[in-house]
């Protein structure tokens, strides 16, 4: 006898597919102090990035067997932690310096959009999808990440506090869950509280940004952080008047891609290590994952099963005085 199973169709919304490039190439994710240093700092950044961007393009072409690669470029402005200048004053300088270096920026994003995008909150949505990796021997005494705001890749150092009638336990080291011979333990802060307001950390917003670039963010089946064409002429005087993600180039390849490559100064290395830890413990929408896997396999360029392995980085060294370069 065959049993019929009835389900509410609204309980499992079918995720809407998004167009996908082969590679999302991030050519800038700078802080406001970098912009404050003047056009000379941007010129230096883009000149360095251009070298590695060419190498990333060549690597994609090799990987897809000589076919014409679909590569889109993006630039992320930090308007979440600090507000410097205005889009009208800052963005034309960014685009001009990129053009001088031979780079075209297809998509421009505001970091605050990773926290709130219209009526959706991408960061809060990703937080609900975190699945902590329990280390061997753990027994759930520590509150979950949704309460503490801290995410680790293994067993933290046990407390050495002594009870009223007991001796203090001896010190024990932290342990990485998937350690190879020796541990590389990380404990990442996802948010802090300031004046009753939750302030998301830079690594957590950067993890949200990576998921968006990989085409894996959904809210009730709808894509999150989708690009909007900029047709308003000059840029606005306020950051909140600029959409979270803007398409600047009408002929650009899709914003989201099978893989990402991020080009950054090497001072961002600790942040991006934390990003990969977060991605490794994020339960991504299964439908979105399936769509990307099927389409990439159909093109003959299958993606790794692990989300973090779809992200690559180039970290370049900076001159000692990079933050104080003259605005020339």
What is the predicted pLDDT for the residue at 169?
65
Asked if residue 263 lies in contact with residue 52, where contact means CB atoms within 8 angstroms, the answer is yes
Residue that is written with structure tokens 């439908």 in the block: 287
Q: Which distant-in-sequence residues (6+ apart) come within 8 Å of 146 by Cβ? A: 127, 128, 130
- Output the six-digit token pair for 274: 């934390």
> Tell me, what's the pLDDT at 326?
40
pTM for this structure? Answer: 0.89
- Would you say 117 and 240 are in contact if contact means Cβ atoms under 8 Å apart? no
The position carrying tokens 């309460």 is 147
How many whole angstroms separate alpha carbon 310 and alpha carbon 279?
Answer: 10
Divide the 328 residues of the chain into consecutive groups of 10 and give the mean pLDDT of each group. Answer: 45 82 94 85 94 95 90 96 90 94 96 92 95 66 84 79 60 81 90 91 97 95 92 86 95 97 94 96 95 95 96 86 42
User: 202 and 245 in contact (C-beta within 8 Å)?
Assistant: no
Helices (H), 220-268: none
DSSP 120: B
d(CA 134, CA 139): 9
pLDDT value at residue 167: 63
Rounded Cα distance between 175 and 184, Å, is 8
Which run of H or E residues covers position 261? strand 257-265
Both tokens of 302, joined, read 């299958």
Q: Do the beta carbons of residue 176 and residue 183 sit within 8 Å?
A: yes
**Cα 19 from Cα 253, distance rounded (Å):** 9
Instruction: Specify the pLDDT at position 17.
Output: 92
């Amino acid at each position: 006898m065959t049993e019929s199973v009835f389900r509410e169709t609204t309980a499992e919304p079918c995720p809407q597919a998004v167009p996908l490039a082969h590679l999302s190439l991030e050519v800038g994710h700078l802080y406001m102090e970098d912009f404050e240093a003047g056009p000379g700092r941007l010129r230096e950044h883009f000149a360095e990035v251009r070298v590695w961007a060419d190498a990333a393009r060549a690597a994609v072409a090799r990987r897809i067997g000589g076919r014409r690669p679909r590569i889109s470029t993006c630039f992320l402005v930090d308007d979440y932690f600090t507000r410097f200048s205005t889009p009208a004053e800052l963005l034309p300088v960014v685009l001009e310096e990129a053009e001088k270096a031979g780079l075209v920026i297809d998509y421009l994003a505001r970091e605050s959009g990773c926290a709130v995008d219209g009526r959706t909150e991408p960061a809060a949505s990703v937080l609900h999808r975190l699945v902590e990796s329990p280390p061997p021997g753990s027994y759930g005494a520590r509150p979950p990440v949704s309460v503490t705001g801290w995410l680790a890749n293994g067993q933290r150092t046990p407390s050495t506090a002594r009870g009223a009638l007991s001796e203090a336990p001896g010190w024990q080291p932290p342990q990485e869950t998937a350690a190879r011979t020796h541990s590389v333990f990380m404990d990442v802060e996802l948010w802090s509280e300031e004046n009753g307001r939750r302030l998301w950390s830079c690594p957590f917003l950067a993890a949200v940004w990576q998921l968006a670039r990989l085409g894996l963010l959904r809210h009730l089946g709808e894509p999150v952080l989708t690009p909007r064409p900029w047709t308003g002429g000059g840029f606005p005087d306020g950051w909140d008047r600029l959409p979270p993600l803007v398409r600047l180039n009408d002929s650009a390849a899709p914003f989201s891609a099978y893989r990402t490559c991020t080009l950054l100064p090497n001072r961002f290395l600790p942040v991006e290590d934390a990003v990969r830890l977060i991605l490794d413990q994020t339960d991504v929408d299964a439908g979105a994952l399936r769509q990307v896997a099927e389409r990439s396999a159909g093109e003959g360029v299958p993606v790794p099963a692990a989300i973090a392995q779809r992200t690559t980085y180039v970290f370049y060294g900076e001159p000692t005085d990079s933050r104080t370069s003259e605005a020339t």
